[in-house]
């Protein structure tokens, strides 16, 4: 039973078929190909707006390039203290952003709040000496497995607008948020004030497929230059585009996300029944429970695989991630294991 990450899952059949279909064709390199053109059309339809699309191979690249293209190198970007860009990318947004500063802000259950954003501006502003706050990056769905509803987004963006910030969304698990909220991709992005989105397919069933979706059109030249000079322009880019085309077709992406969400829901309910405490509401495809050392050891002995981080009170937070390929059997096996081990003392 594997719950370490949705990154450990394989490649879904729809994506694999799309790769195989593309494999037999020749086409132009570096994005000047038919698959990429079709992807731009497809995402313009999904987002109900003409968008620019830049396929890349990693989420770190998508996030960092999106921020680099929309913030000056001396700018600062507000984000949640647990944001992937802040804690899990070895400062790549700073490096690729030319010295960009990430400014972590607290918030319950992985979610930023308008009050916390506003509070970030109550600081000494020493003119040219002080990093100007120029951007906001939010994660949808969040690193705590929660999501922002449309009204949550709009309240955040109101603050952002008041301070003229550019708004980026890290959508490594955007599909899970769309599936969970029922809101449309448009409502969850430009219609609520998001300017640029990192749209991830890798965790949702692709092999290596992330796309920066530019909803505001004026950063395209800067983006293309940054992408190339940081080594993120793929020669056979059409195979990333093809992965997306397979993933998006017939709403496969939403079905896979819906399945992952359902598996997390089932897992969360089962663990609660087994006496465990949920640390965050289960809103997408991640479940967080508190474990003590003996329970963690017992779970691992039982074959469970997952990440933990210290909670500061002697216990550890276990993160359990489901994916498009998680089966009810795997979920039930972990619930059974948890029931057998019993709740932490």
219-278 positions binding its own copies, by CB under 8 A: 222, 224-236, 239-240
The stretch near its own copies (CB under 8 A) out of 23-31, 155-163, 175-183, 292-300 is: 23-31
* Structural tokens at position 23: 């494999």
The stretch near its own copies (CB under 8 A) out of 22-30, 145-153, 173-181, 296-304 is: 22-30
Query: Cβ 15 to its own copies, closest distance in Å?
Result: 8
Nearer to its own copies, 139 or 325 (CB): 325
Query: Cβ 125 to its own copies, closest distance in Å?
Result: 9
Hey, which residues between 34 and 73 contact its own copies (CB under 8 A)?
57-61, 64-65, 72-73
Hey, which residues between 117 and 156 contact its own copies (CB under 8 A)?
122-124, 126, 128-131
Nearer to its own copies, 188 or 331 (CB): 331
Query: Cβ 184 to its own copies, closest distance in Å?
Result: 27
Site string for its own copies, 76-115 (x = CB under 8 A): -----------xxxxxx-xxx-xx-x--------------
Nearer to its own copies, 52 or 192 (CB): 52
């Amino acid at each position: 039973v594997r719950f370490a990450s949705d990154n450990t899952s394989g490649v879904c059949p729809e994506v694999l078929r799309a790769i195989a279909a593309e494999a037999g064709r020749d086409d132009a390199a570096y994005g000047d190909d038919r698959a990429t053109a079709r992807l731009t059309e497809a995402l313009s339809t999904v987002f109900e707006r003409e968008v620019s699309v830049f396929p890349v191979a990693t989420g770190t690249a998508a996030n960092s390039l999106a921020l680099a293209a929309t913030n000056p190198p001396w700018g600062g970007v507000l984000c949640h203290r647990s944001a992937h860009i802040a804690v899990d990318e070895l400062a790549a947004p700073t490096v690729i952003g030319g010295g960009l500063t990430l400014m972590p802000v607290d918030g319950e259950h992985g979610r930023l709040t308008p009050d916390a954003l506003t509070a970030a501006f109550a600081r000494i502003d020493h003119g040219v000496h002080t990093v100007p706050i120029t951007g906001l990056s939010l994660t949808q769905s969040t690193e705590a497995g929660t999501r922002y509803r449309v009204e949550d987004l709009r309240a955040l963006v109101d603050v952002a607008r008041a301070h003229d910030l550019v708004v980026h969304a890290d959508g490594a698990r955007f599909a899970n948020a769309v599936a969970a909220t029922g809101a449309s991709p448009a409502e969850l992005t430009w219609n609520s004030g998001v300017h640029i989105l990192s749209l991830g397919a890798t965790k949702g069933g692709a092999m290596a497929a992330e796309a920066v979706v530019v909803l505001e059109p004026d950063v395209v030249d800067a983006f293309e230059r940054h992408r190339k000079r940081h080594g993120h322009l793929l020669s056979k880019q059409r195979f990333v585009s093809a992965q997306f085309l397979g993933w998006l077709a017939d709403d496969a992406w939403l079905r896979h996300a819906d399945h992952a969400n359902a598996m997390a829901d089932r897992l969360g309910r089962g663990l609660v029944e087994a006496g465990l405490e949920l640390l965050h509401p289960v809103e997408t495809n991640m479940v967080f429970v508190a474990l003590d050392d003996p329970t963690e050891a017992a779970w691992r002995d039982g074959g469970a695989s997952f990440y933990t981080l210290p909670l500061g009170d002697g216990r550890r937070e276990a993160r359990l991630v489901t994916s498009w390929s998680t089966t009810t059997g795997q979920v039930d096996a972990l619930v059974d294991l948890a029931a057998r081990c019993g709740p932490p003392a």
